[in-house]
Amino acid sequence: MADDLQLAFCIDDRFAPHLAVCLHSIQTHLGHGMAARAHIIGDLSPDVARRLGSMAGDRLDLAFHVRVPDFSHLHISPTFASRLSIATYHRLALPELLPGRDRILYLDADMLALTDLTPLWETDLHGCAAAVVQDYFLGTEKRWERLGLPHPEYFNAGMMLMDLDRWRKEKLAACVAEAVAEHPDWEYNDQDGLNVVLNGQCLYVDSRWNATTTRLRAGAVENPALIHFTGQEKPWHVSSVHPCRDAYRDAKQHTPWKEAPLEHFLDHVDRHLLDELLRARPDGGCIAIYGCGARGRRLALYLRDQHPGYTIRFMVDRSAAGPFEGIPVHRHMPDNTIDALDALLIASVPFRDEILASLPPGLSNQIPVI
């Protein structure tokens, strides 16, 4: 497979099911006569390695790399502590772990291919260290200014077509690790480090090769090729409404994790709100949830599945577009519903004060408003 698609993924056991989905999607869309070799970096448990290994076939070969350099001295910022592990830094070891390769296509495991990746793989780098896609969210925030970069650009590191020869020659991975170690305040960890070291040295390709969640929802990606499930909301979460959720879940049925249940994801704010509700109404009751965004959806389905003593009478959201999982969603608090409620849970935390001001006078004296 020397001339075929060469991929690299850096994972721990937790992300193995999602890598399996990614691998299935890549294999399914391989062009005629093409095959892929996936280099899987990480110290996986025997059962996980066995399951992933069972996906190998005529057009997909897997190579496991267990021994990786120690990056435990590098930090994970509080923003991503619940979602990332030290495995994110293993991509810095690729030039060392793959000495016989001149290029590699690194991908985050939470991606889904919708087409053949061969055109991306065959991209002429024109001497650049990597081909990448602009991070439009952080680009809008002008992340490069905060990092003091000379070139006004910032990429999402979930997809990098890397010139490994150049990385080895210029010791770029060591430069990134050193930069991250010197800046524990960097919020985006090695992605910030990669952008600092590679600033002005990358080839920017079309966003269809790293179609992030915010760009997809904005309808800003024409003919997406490689979906990247960025942000908190993932298609393996029970409450997900990601536009490619069904494509992910369909692909999951062709992996060794097809029987694995979907997950309930809760962040620390969700857990705080739930604790307050359980304290106020320990025996359950009829409640309404104000806010049908990601947090409101998470709370609604978690309560429905894990605390059936609560009945969610309705949800309120100004951008309501119909019921959610059978729960009515209203644009405003319906009239004459207070007597039917035992509590109101405000999930739209950033707009809490505004929502409180809009509620009927004295409501908080009648029922708990959480």
**What CATH number has the domain bearing residue 281?**
3.40.50
Q: Is residue 262 part of a domain?
A: no
Decide which of 66 and 296 is more confident: 296
Same domain, 354 and 320: yes
Average pLDDT, the chain: 90
Please say if the pLDDT value at position 249 is more than 60. Answer: yes
Q: What is the pLDDT of residues 156-197, one digit of tens each?
A: 999 999 999 999 999 999 998 888 888 777 777 788 889 989
Q: What is the pLDDT of residues 194-222, one digit of tens each?
A: 998 999 999 999 999 999 998 888 888 98
Q: Note the pTM of the prediction, 2 decimals.
A: 0.91
Domain membership of residue 230 as a residue range: 5-252
Cα atoms in the 13 Å half-sphere on the side-chain side of 308: 1
Q: Is residue 116 part of a domain?
A: yes
| Region label for 299, one of left (φ > 0), alpha (ψ between -120 and 50) or beta (otherwise) | alpha
Give the other-Cβ count within 10 Å of 200's Cβ.
10
pLDDT on residue 2? 47
Q: Is residue 261 part of a domain?
A: no
End of a domain among 222, 252, 282? 252
Contact 198, 212 (CB under 8 A): no
In angstroms, the CA 269 to CA 275 distance is: 10
Q: Is residue 259 part of a domain?
A: no
Task: Name the residue among 52, 54, 48, 61 with its Cα closest to residue 4.
Answer: 61
Q: Is residue 107 part of a domain?
A: yes
Coil, strand or helix at 88: helix
Q: How many folded domains does the chain comprise?
A: 2
Positive/negative CA dihedral, 225, 228, 229, 235 = positive
- CATH assignment of the domain containing 39: 3.90.550.10
Q: Is residue 258 part of a domain?
A: no
Give the DSSP per-residue string, 154-170.
-EEEEEEEEEHHHHHHH
Contact 111, 158 (CB under 8 A): yes
Q: Give the pairing type, strands 226-228 and 111-113.
A: antiparallel
Decide which of 237 and 150 is more confident: 237
Q: Quick one: pLDDT band at residue 229, thresholds 50, 70, 90?
A: very high
Task: Name the residue among 108, 76, 104, 82 with its Cα closest to residue 173.
Answer: 104
Helices (H), 94-148: 94-97, 118-121, 136-140, 143-146
> Angle 81-84-88 (CA atoms, 0-180°, nearest 5)?
130
In angstroms, the CA 159 to CA 53 distance is: 23
